[in-house]
Amino acid sequence: MATTRSAHTVWEGGLLNGGGIATFDSSGIGDQPVSWPSRAEQAEGKTSPEELIAAAHSSCFAMALTHGLEGAGTPPTRLAVSADVTFQPGEGVTGIHLTVEGTVSGIDNDAFVIAAQDAKANCPVSRALSGTTITLSAKLV
């Protein structure tokens, strides 16, 4: 069954001195302030589209990797995933780097890296972001 998740943003003022509120409609987890300075300079307690992409990508990748490892009979005990999304004003998102450290019994580091590469290539968010260079660092801990 397909699902649709929704959010909305209300923006007031100009780009450089205005700001907005992003609201997570589907989950109801609350509102987050956004602004150009939080995107292109310092966050100062506000989020940005790139931080939201990083959250989506890291959680999707963690699910995809867990699924792949479970399917191979080696479910993870723990995965720590981070996503770093680089934004260049005037160019846009110029790259995403995923980092995963995993605790997984029954496989070696090479097998873990192969599973992580597969998850990177096939998680739905990676697919949605296929126009962006996505790199990966993966290791067992």
**Average pLDDT of the residues in 31-60:** 96
Report the percentage of the chain scoring pLDDT > 90.
100
Q: How many CB atoms lie within 10 A of CB 86?
A: 14
So what's the pLDDT on residue 139? 98
So what's the pLDDT on residue 6? 96
- Tell me the per-residue pLDDT of 61-93, one tens digit each, with 9 for 90 and over: 999 999 999 999 999 999 999 999 999 999 999
Q: In sequence order, what DSSP letters do the residues of 44-79 get, joined into one string? A: TT-B-HHHHHHHHHHHHHHHHHHHHHHHTT--EEEE
Among all chains, which residue has been given the structure tokens 């999304």?
85
Q: Report whether 21 contacts 9 (CB < 8 A).
A: yes
- Tell me the per-residue pLDDT of 91-106, one tens digit each, with 9 for 90 and over: 999 999 999 999 999 9
- Phi-psi sector, 55: left (phi>0), alpha (psi -120 to 50), beta: alpha
- Tell me the per-residue pLDDT of 115-128, one tens digit each, with 9 for 90 and over: 999 999 999 999 99
- Tell me the per-residue pLDDT of 33-46, one tens digit each, with 9 for 90 and over: 999 999 999 999 99
pTM, entire model: 0.94
So what's the pLDDT on residue 138? 98
Report the percentage of the chain scoring pLDDT > 70.
100
So what's the pLDDT on residue 131? 95
